Amino acid sequence: MTNKNHRLSTRAQENLSEPNIMLDGVRKVNSDKYDADTNPNGIINLGVAENQLMTKELTKIMGTVDHVNPKLFGYSESPSGSKKLREHFANNIFNRYFNPVEPVSFDQMVLSAGCSATVDNFTFCVCDPGEGIIITTPFYGGFNTDIMVKSKAKVVVCDLGDCLPFDVSHVDLMQNALYKAESEGIKVKAVVLSNPHNPLGRNYSREILIEFLRFASRNQVHILYDEIYALSVFDDKLVGQAKAEQPGSTPFISVLSIPDLEQYCEKDLIHVAYGMSKDFCLNGFRCGCLLSPWNPELIDAMRAIAVFTWMSSPTEAMITKLLSDPNTIETFTQTNQKRLAESYTLAVDTLRAHNIPFLPAQGGHFLWADFRQFIPRSLTVSAAAGERSAEHLLCRAMLDRGVYVNWGEAFSESKVGFFRVTFAVPIPMLKLGLERMLQACQGASQEA
Ligand SMILES: Cc1ncc(COP(=O)(O)O)c(C=O)c1O
């Protein structure tokens, strides 16, 4: 009998056997989306990092773009983004908000159809198949897809166990992970990290950003700082108890703002990823950016493959309009941060009231919470042994109640029972989503 898989390439066959738990979750939720008027029993999405707080403002800003302008029917200026849009990214985003020591310019970046595409293209350009990229746990699960699915590089998981990645000592664990990978024949080519951190919602300190640079230099690997949540840092907008209970604040520091980078790392190894999905709430538009100010060869290599991830002309036109006006960006960002702070406050007040431990967040759309107390007792033994079914059961109970929350496995967290809760949804929806989540937890704890 013919095995149909044999009609596919080996790399495509590999992808058939790899489940994508993040995308499976998204599909499930999007097929039965909650809507207060038309589908009140649908699923409230507190699992995906989509910020729904600025919908009205965006609709107004985008509504002024001429959608059927005949120019938009054709290919846009360049697969790697028009000069104008790249200038807006340089002047109105990076130079204005990232505080770079050396101002960045349009020719140091390549745009693509989403930051996922940016990380995939970056991987394609720095890794041959089978080579490795180190990431510490827990990490944004999409990096697995971006690094492994097309470019066929490997994610070298550096499991931090009980440590949080905000302590410099964990760089030693990264070094061990690198040695171990190399002893297994995996050549490590890069480190990827997100700052602000997804899923932990906190910023790295200057000290640790510098330790990462030293690590990259010592091992001669690239370092990609994914700064896609840079303008979603909200902790200075907190008030009352939420503010009082925040631990010491670490401001967002872009790697671009660190003076004398060359004293820590060769500058051609340092790169930044950004995109429109998070700070501008435009997940569906698909626009990402790789900024590599000191490695023109990488930029040329990225340009050579940009045709496959070319943004659509209408998308580019609308984003160009949005980013053309620094005042619009500033008002949008301030309002967004204020709303993130309000939604975060409701989420943490609710978690505190129910004695659910969490890591206080400073930025991003989510917080990291410890749901281990709700894992049914019958499953705690298997949970202690790292058996994920306990976590899946809790997740399923939440889905049955009509809310989707993302579970630790999707972030390669080795401890079972941690969840990432997205709070960047309008307050009434958030309230109902958290209520449903708690009902599911209470149901599970009766069994526990
Ligand atoms: C840290 C990080 N990088 C990249 C992405 C992907 O962004 P995009 O929607 O632009 O592909 C996400 C989305 O959740 C993210 O959290």
pLDDT of residue 1: 45
For the stretch 265-303, pLDDT in tens is: 999 999 999 999 999 999 999 999 999 999 999 999 999
Mean pLDDT value across the chain: 92
Cβ-contact 230, 252 below 8 angstroms:
yes
List ligand 1's pocket residues with C-beta within 6 A: 49, 114-116, 140, 142, 194, 198, 226, 228, 275, 277, 283, 288
What per-residue confidence (pLDDT) applies to 119?
98
For residue 366, how far is its CA from the centre of ligand 1 (angstroms)?
13
Q: Across residues 307-316, what is the average pLDDT? A: 95
Please tell me the distance between residue 273's alpha carbon and the centre of ligand 1 in angstroms: 10
Q: Which residues contact 245 (CB under 8 A, 6 or more apart)?
A: 348, 352, 360
Over residues 42-66, mean pLDDT: 90
**What is the rounded CA–CA span in Å between residue 77 and residue 259?**
35
CA 383 – ligand 1 centroid, Å: 29
Is 80 exceeded by the pLDDT of residue 365? yes
Q: Which segments of the chain belong to CATH 3.90.1150.10?
A: 9-56+330-447
Q: Which of 45, 122, 278, 366 to mutate to test the pocket of ligand 1 (most atoms within 8 A of CB)?
A: 278
Cite the beta strand spans of 32-114 per DSSP E: 44-46, 109-112
The H-or-E segment that residue 329 falls in is helix 326-353
pLDDT of 391 above 90: no
| 158-202 pLDDT per residue, tens | 999 888 889 888 999 999 999 999 999 999 999 999 999 999 999
pLDDT surpasses 60 at 448: no
- Contact predicate 166/329, CB 8 Å: no
The yes-or-no verdict on residue 206 having pLDDT over 90 is: yes
**For residue 273, which of 258, 254, 291 has the smallest C-alpha distance?**
291
Among 115, 120, 226, name the best residue to mutate to test ligand 1's pocket (greatest count of ligand atoms within 8 A of Cβ).
115
Expressed in angstroms and rounded, the spacing between residue 289 Cα and the centre of ligand 1 is: 11
pLDDT at 385: 64
Query: Looking at the domain that runs over 70-325, which CATH code has it been given?
Result: 3.40.640.10
User: Domain 9-56+330-447, CATH 2.60.120.10 — does that match?
Assistant: no
Over range 3-14, report the average pLDDT.
81
Nearest-atom index, ligand 1, CA of 288: 10
Q: Give the residue, out of 50, 116, 232, 285, with the most ligand 1 atoms within 8 A of its beta carbon, to mutate for a pocket test.
A: 116
240: left (phi over 0), alpha (psi -120 to 50) or beta: left
CA distances from 340 to 21, 128, 168, 240, 437 (A): 26, 40, 29, 15, 20
Q: Which residue intervals of the chain bear CATH 3.40.640.10? A: 70-325
Greater pLDDT, 19 or 259? 259
Q: What's the mean pLDDT in 229-256?
A: 88
Q: Please determine, for residue 222, whether its predicted confidence score (pLDDT) is greater than 70.
A: yes
pLDDT in tens, 79-117: 999 999 999 999 999 999 999 999 999 999 999 999 999
Distances (CA, A) of 241 to 116, 237, 246: 36, 12, 9
Distance 358 CA to ligand 1 centre (A): 22
61 vs 94: which has the higher pLDDT: 94
Task: Give the pLDDT confidence score for residue 238 in this predicted structure.
Answer: 87
Percent of the chain with pLDDT over 70: 93
What average pLDDT score do residues 62-71 get? 74
Question: How far is residue 52's CA from residue 282's CA, in Å, rounded to a whole number?
Answer: 9
- Burial status of residue 130 (CB atoms within 10 A of its CB: 0-12, 13-18, 19 or more): exposed
Beta strands 288-291 and 188-194, pairing class: unpaired
pLDDT of residue 416: 87
How far is residue 17's CA from residue 12's CA, in Å, rounded to a whole number? 9
